[in-house]
Amino acid sequence: MITVLNNKRTVSFEKIHVQQYATAAEASVQVAHEIAALIKDKQAKGQRAVLGLATGSTPKKVYKELVRLHREGDLSFHNVIAFNLDEYFPIQPIAWQSYKRFMKENLFAHIDIDQDDCHIPDGTVPQEFMKMHCEQYEKFIEDAGGIDFQLLGIGRNGHIGFNEPGSHNSSVTRLITLDISTRLDAAPEFGGTTNVPKKAITMGVSTILKAKKIVLLAWGENKAGIVQQAVEGAVTELVPASYLQAHSDVKFVIDDACALELTRNKAPWLTDTVMWHQQMIKKAVTHLALTVNKPILKLTNNDYNENRLSDLLALYGQAYDINIDVFNWLQHTITGWPGGKPNADDTNRPERATPHKKRVLLFSPHPDDDIISMGGTFQRLVDQGHEVHVAYQTSGNIAVADDEAFRFIQFVLDFNKQFNITNTESTALYEKAARFLKTKAKGEKDIDELRYVKGIIRRGEALNTCRYTGVPDEQAHFLNMPFYETGLVEKKPLGEADYEIIMNLIEKVQPHQVYAAGDLADPHGTHKVCLDAILEAMKRLKQKDYMKDCWLWLYKGAWAEWDIHQIEMAVPLSPDQVLKKRAGIFKHQSQKDGVVFQGSDSREFWQRAEERNKATADLYNQLGLAEYAAMEAFVRWQY
Ligand code: F6R
């Protein structure tokens, strides 16, 4: 589709209208106000508003804003009828994973909607009556006059409702079998994949498409790929959200992170006029080299012209000059001296040569992110004589499996028995944890004593990695940030106590370099919260003298890597260093061999880390730079 805007040719690859907001919070407020306006408009006309609602983490902030509007007296729901998309099967409504309970806790209990007007498929209906139940559900929607406004989320496999890949566009409300990827995504809430129900009841694709207006929400980098496919790709049953392309009043509301894969962001020169600054040139040239499958120095004028980069070519005059610039920029990101190379000219190096010995503060959101995400760089910093402190931000206790904890508890109890240690506070704690474990129900929240044990297991593993790397015990700091300590996947909001812990440590270490997990776009994740706490602490301390000399480097904590054009420091690893890093990761025994939070990626953490670091090295090599075994990448962040 080509449209002319202000004499500028704007090309769109998007087949669904997309509204992009800086943050999920901002977007959610807008959507909530849109829903509120519809409800009020219907009220003014004496009509009922029929809402189709979704569950999951995505719409929570929309519901929060609707509740706020209601509390402030600005919005009544007396004329609303709600139909939820789906429900697990079988499930009891009181189970805390049930969508019935979710809706009550997040919306229905806090507003003045008539509870009889809140419809959710029933996860307790016997299977032989399911067909009837589903037909009735469709009929209720029809009798209500059809859905006026359908709110949707999207699964990472492209599902809408629980219409998994393969669902037909004529499907109606029915019982379905959940995709394995959906069950893996739900595993944390259920305390393991095996506890996730295998089936669910869902409105069909045609039920959804009948809604008068549809708004699909998606946040974060995790969803960027599937959103791109749904919006820019072909309509296919393999991506059920792509069926929405056929609807006449649909839009996707997404945040910046989730929009990353859309052509408008991925390759903006293909859709619009762009400003050619260094980052953009790097982005375009690396993209071009990868598209035409050539190293940068072999790109020709034709390659630029044929791939809509004639603007850039005109700016420089010839491909040769652009190629040399970009090649050098990339070359200058590579260094074996992450703390700066002593007595060397640092004009074109990512880090300063002085001070020669730096104080380094490495923040690790969980007890193993330091070694997994930047183990090679960590080791180099220690080996090159810097004073390296590691700060473990959270206890990571919810990621220890029960049987692993039991093994340690048993060890302590056996030891105490052997040496007749009885009636101590510690014996009581371990005995209580053991009693709890013996009767623990599936998915039940751990008691404090068990969480304590799980926390010290992970602490021991992290200390082991520090010793292995050469960091003295007193330079390993266990912060146990309070926001994390809920015992559940859902965490508390950051508070003053969290900020203070980080500020105190920075004040104590007065670092020249801070390393942090830069998962900027992970709206629900611990990594993002941990980063927010560091950024806030650094902002508050910014005026201190020692902070003027402090650089912040971000590594990617999750499995994705920075885009090549963003990388400002790339630290190569030799084959031996790769093996050394692997052994460092092995110190985290509780996170090996079938972990609690495996996610949809069945590889072990050391495998994911190695494949990611190799991929970064291969990418540099593919672009025509030297061939290394592996590389860890960083972005310098201005705070
Ligand atoms: C929920 C639903 C699902 C979710 C989707 C995204 O009622 O129908 O399609 O919207 O799985 O889940 P979250 O929001 O948890 O990422």
pLDDT of 3 over the 60 cut:
no
Give yes or no for a contact between 548 and 412, defined as CB atoms under 8 angstroms apart: no
Task: Pinpoint the residues of the chain covered by CATH 3.40.50.10320.
Answer: 359-400+454-637
Query: Mind telling me the catalytic residues?
Result: 164
Residue 310 pLDDT exceeds 90: yes
Average pLDDT over residues 347-367: 97
pLDDT digits (tens, 9 = 90+) for 548-600: 999 999 999 877 899 999 999 999 999 999 999 999 999 999 998 766 766 66
Residue whose token pair is 């959101």: 365
Are the C-beta atoms of residues 395 and 459 closer than 8 Å to each other? yes
Confidence of residue 2 (pLDDT cuts 50, 70, 90): very low
> Residue 140 and residue 62: Cα distance in Å, rounded?
25
Ligand 1, atom 1, residue with closest C-alpha:
55
Residue 494 DSSP symbol: P
Tokens of 385: 């004589």
pLDDT value for 8: 47
Give ranges for CATH 3.40.50.1360 in the chain: 18-264
What is this structure's pTM? 0.86
C-alpha of residue 56 to centroid of ligand 1, in Å: 5
Considering only the C-alpha atoms of the chain, give the largest distance between any 2 of them, rounded to a whole number of Å: 87
Q: pLDDT by residue (tens digit) across 157-194?
A: 999 999 999 999 999 999 999 999 999 889 878 877 88
> Among candidates 208, 229, 226, which has minimal Cα distance to 218?
226
Fold of 359-400+454-637: Rossmann fold (3.40.50)
CA–CA separation, 425 and 633 (whole Å): 46
Q: What's the start-to-end Cα distance of the chain, in Å?
A: 40
Q: What is the DSSP letter of 491?
A: -
Instruction: Please state, rounded to an integer, the average pLDDT across all residues of the chain.
Output: 94
**Residue with CA at minimum distance from ligand 1 atom 3:** 161
Selection from 560, 493, 531 nearest residue 637 by Cα: 531
Q: Kindly report, residue by residue over 424-465, the tens digit of the pLDDT.
A: 898 999 999 999 999 998 778 899 999 999 999 999 999 999
55 lines ligand 1 (CB under 6 A): yes
- The CATH number, out of the four listed (3.30.565.10, 3.40.50.1360, 3.20.20.70, 3.40.50.300), of the domain defined by the range 18-264: 3.40.50.1360
Instruction: Give the pLDDT score at 599.
Output: 67
Strands of the sheet with 86-89, listed across from one edge: 86-89, 199-202, 174-177
Ligand 1: centre distance to CA 2 (Å): 33
Helix axes 24-44, 60-71, angle to 10 degrees: 50
Which residues have a Cβ under 8 Å from the Cβ of 432 and sit 6 or more positions away? 447, 449
**What is the CA(160)–ligand 1 centre distance, in A?**
7
Phi, psi angle pair for 608, to nearest 5°: -65, -45
